[in-house]
Chain A
Amino acid sequence: MRLLLVEDDTILGDGLKAGLAMEGYAVDWLTDGAQADEALKLNKYDLIVLDLNLPRMDGMSVLKAMRKRKDSTPVLLLTARDGVSERVAGLDNGADDYVAKPFDLSEICARLRALARRHEGRGLPILEHKGVSLDPAAHQVHYLGKPVELSQKEFEILNFLMTHIGQVTSRPRLEETLYAWGSEVESNAVEVHIHHLRKKLDANLIRTIRGVGYIIDEN
């Protein structure tokens, strides 16, 4: 999943980027609000972690601007204030959740998973389709009741396709969810991962639509 992290504190930003990357997120990290606003206009993200106290353009304005553009990407706010008012304002301005600093990395991850789930309109934490079950929290996949070992990227592709069942996903879109800015993308990487997934799971689970992309069919 592609995630935008906006945090001006270098050490916290660095830590969050590393921590979230370990969870499999492709993290783009920006340190100022105006840059974040621009990035949001140009890119499609699955999740946003947004600090409120930012230089040049504060987090609340970034949030308001993106909601005004009808961008409904889930936003998790990071607040440093004790007061309720800031949180209320954040939620009322379109944030989906908030965490107060200092926070536990695992809590951020759990909240992000919950946000993604809700955004996709699912209530259940575990995805199940045609004998494949995927647990985003535990990073585990079972096929016909047996655990399957997947690499991080394979897991992310399967996760993305299983949350978009019945929808065709283009290769560049999949690449976006896998790679943050600055990471090197091998030209046929997605094909290789799909190939591995077909080998480890049902070969017919993921269907290729030539020239368009990939799909997991509804039935």
Chain B
Amino acid sequence: MALRLRLVPRSLKKQLLLSLLSSLLLVWGATAFISYKLTRDEITELFNAELAQSARVVHAFVDNMLRQRALTKLWEHDKSPELFDTPILGHKYERKIAFQLRSVKDGLVLRSESAPEFALSLTRNGYSETMLDEQLWHVFSLSSENGEYVIHVGQRDDIRRQLVESIAGQQVIGFLVALPVLGVVIWLIVSRTLSPVNQLKEQLASREAGHLQPLSDDKLPEEMQPVVKQINALFAMLEQAFANERNFTSDASHELRTPLAGILTQVQVAQKTQDPQVRDQALQKAQQAVLRMTHMVQQLLTLSRVQHHNAVIDKQPLDVNRAVIGVIADMDHVAHDKGIEIELQGDDGIAIDANPQLLQILLRNLLDNAIKYSPSGSRVKVQFRRLKNQLWLSVEDSGPGVAGGDYQRITQRFYRCVETAGSVEGSGLGLSIVQRIVSLHGAEVAFAKSVLGGLKVLLKFDLPNPPDANAKDGSALPADMI
């Protein structure tokens, strides 16, 4: 269902805080608990040690007194605790220890005020626990060497427990106080560390669609540099694509303005003139200009279409012979009108992987150019051969060719050769279209001077399968193909 519990938040900050704080709480809690336990045990040990210590002190004291016979008086005197229970307390925990001196003969000889009258323990030596008046006592007993008396030093369990709890508890309180402080510190650190991400986010959010300047990557942490670099690379690519688009539109509008001006001027001449011959001629020129513009618009559309084609095009196996013959048949009437003979030489049975529509546009443009630039009554030559694992297809014309071998520029859109610009009606787009289609097919295009005197365009397509042994290979290639 739509309702889904998200345990891990998307936000990096929340994730970090959640995981840091929860693990902190866990570790902190465990540490506090263990520390509390250990402290309690240690304090218990300490108290036990203190009991033993006290017992030995009392023993030494009692022993000394017995030797001086001083104790007998006391012994007689009152069996009272005054000796040990001085009214002035040295420490708040001081009174918590009770003390009994018991003689084997006389029973209780001396006791501290806090000590009960009953024997604190039945043990004569060492640690023991005794229940007296529903009170649990921790006792350390020490008997004299001759066994005449026993000293019990004891501590009431509830008192001890209270002390232990309070001491150990204080430690836990420290932990508890530190926890929120640490939490706040962690939160601050996380926020601070992630602030470049936030900045980047804001920098991106405040951008408009056309704003593709690179993001600044100074002051950015190392980990984010690659991300910003990638974003900037993407921006650069987009910028380039936008610039291409802009240039294309601007070039196109520029190229269309001149023929438009031509049409307008011719029409106005026709309107103004009194001479019917001038009028007819002007109207004829205007019509010619409209036809030329129509062709140009068509070429522009084709170029824009092939330029926007994805890098991946639908290809299918095509018979080269059939494709070439199809296009020649289409163009034949144009050639016939100019008295141009189209000569075709090609092998049967060569198939390439190509997009049929694009291949047709490609061949049509090449042939159209060849016919256009060849003088009336001359020849155009189309050849194709298999050469190793490639198809070599060439179109040659008897035109003026390209002066100075400046083949670099002829594929630039709207470029037109000086030699032919005045005499041949072209859009300057044909070879741009050819080049784009060639690159969409991963093929190559090369230009050279033809034996016919004009331009030779050579296309090289990779063939889908290596030719079998029976097929013709490069040795059959005529010298003028290369």
Is the pair B268, A9 in contact by a Cβ cutoff of 8 Å?
no
Contacting B at CB under 8 A, from A1-28, are 8-12, 14-16, 18-19, 22
State which of A9, A55, A81, A106 has its C-beta within 8 Å of the C-beta of B418.
A55
Contacting B at CB under 8 A, from A90-125, are 100-106
Whole-angstrom distance between the alpha carbons of A141 and B416 in the complex? Answer: 47
Tally of A interface residues using CB under 8 Å: 27
Which residues on the A side are within 8 Å of B418 (C-beta)?
Answer: 32, 55-56
Is the pair B285, A14 in contact by a Cβ cutoff of 8 Å?
yes
Q: Is A31's CB within 8 Å of the partner chain B? A: yes
A18 to chain B, nearest CB (A): 5
Whole-angstrom distance between the alpha carbons of A102 and B265 in the complex? Answer: 8
> Which of A15, A81, A103 counts the most chain B CB atoms within 10 A?
A15
A22-B272, A22-B273, A102-B261 are contacts. A14–B266 as well, Cβ < 8 Å? yes
Q: Is A186's CB within 8 Å of the partner chain B? A: no
A8-B421, A55-B421 are contacts. A19–B257 as well, Cβ < 8 Å? no
Whole-angstrom distance between the alpha carbons of A57 and B260 in the complex? Answer: 23
Contacting B at CB under 8 A, from A27-61, are 31-32, 53, 55-56
Which residues on the A side are within 8 Å of B131 (C-beta)?
Answer: none
A9-B258, A12-B259 are contacts. A105–B265 as well, Cβ < 8 Å? yes
Q: Is B278's CB within 8 Å of the partner chain A? A: yes
State which of B259, B265, B416 has its C-beta within 8 Å of the C-beta of A16.
B265
State which of B255, B263, B269 has its C-beta within 8 Å of the C-beta of A18.
B269
Q: Is B250's CB within 8 Å of the partner chain A? A: yes
Is the pair A15, B285 in contact by a Cβ cutoff of 8 Å?
yes
Is the pair B268, A80 in contact by a Cβ cutoff of 8 Å?
no
Is the pair B258, A82 in contact by a Cβ cutoff of 8 Å?
no
Whole-angstrom distance between the alpha carbons of A15 and B282 in the complex? Answer: 7
State which of A11, A32, A78 has its C-beta within 8 Å of the C-beta of B259.
A11
Is the pair A80, B254 in contact by a Cβ cutoff of 8 Å?
yes
Is the pair B272, A19 in contact by a Cβ cutoff of 8 Å?
yes
Contacting A at CB under 8 A, from B273-293, are 273, 278, 281-282, 285-286, 288-289, 292
Q: Is B135's CB within 8 Å of the partner chain A? A: no
B281 to chain A, nearest CB (A): 8
A71 to chain B, nearest CB (A): 25
Chain A proximity mask over B237-278: 1 for CB below 8 Å, otherwise 0: 000000000000010011101111111111011001100001
Whole-angstrom distance between the alpha carbons of A152 and B76 in the complex? Answer: 165
Is the pair B254, A11 in contact by a Cβ cutoff of 8 Å?
no
Which residues on the A side are within 8 Å of B292 (C-beta)?
Answer: 11
Which residues on the A side are within 8 Å of B281 (C-beta)?
Answer: 18
A191 to chain B, nearest CB (A): 27
Which residues on the A side are within 8 Å of B253 (C-beta)?
Answer: 82
Which residues on the B side are within 8 Å of A32 (C-beta)?
Answer: 418, 422
State which of B260, B285, B416 has its C-beta within 8 Å of the C-beta of A101.
B260
Which residues on the A side are within 8 Å of B421 (C-beta)?
Answer: 8, 55
Residue ID in chain B nearest A99 by CB atoms = B261
Whole-angstrom distance between the alpha carbons of A106 and B272 in the complex? Answer: 10
Is the pair B269, A101 in contact by a Cβ cutoff of 8 Å?
no
Interface on A for B, CB 8 Å cutoff?
A: 8-12, 14-16, 18-19, 22, 31-32, 53, 55-56, 78, 80-82, 100-106
> 26 A-B pairs, CB-CB below 8 angstroms?
A8-B421, A9-B261, A9-B262, A11-B263, A12-B258, A12-B262, A14-B262, A14-B266, A14-B285, A15-B286, A16-B265, A22-B272, A80-B254, A80-B257, A80-B261, A81-B250, A100-B257, A101-B261, A102-B257, A102-B260, A102-B263, A103-B264, A104-B264, A104-B268, A105-B265, A105-B268
- 8 smallest beta-carbon distances between A and B, as pairs: A15-B265, A12-B262, A11-B262, A102-B261, A101-B261, A101-B257, A55-B418, A15-B266
**Beyond A16-B265, A80-B257, A81-B254, 12 additional pairs, beta carbon < 8 A:** A8-B421, A11-B285, A12-B259, A14-B266, A15-B266, A18-B281, A19-B265, A22-B273, A82-B253, A102-B261, A102-B265, A105-B269
Interface on B for A, CB 8 Å cutoff?
A: 250, 253-255, 257-266, 268-269, 272-273, 278, 281-282, 285-286, 288-289, 292, 416, 418, 421-422
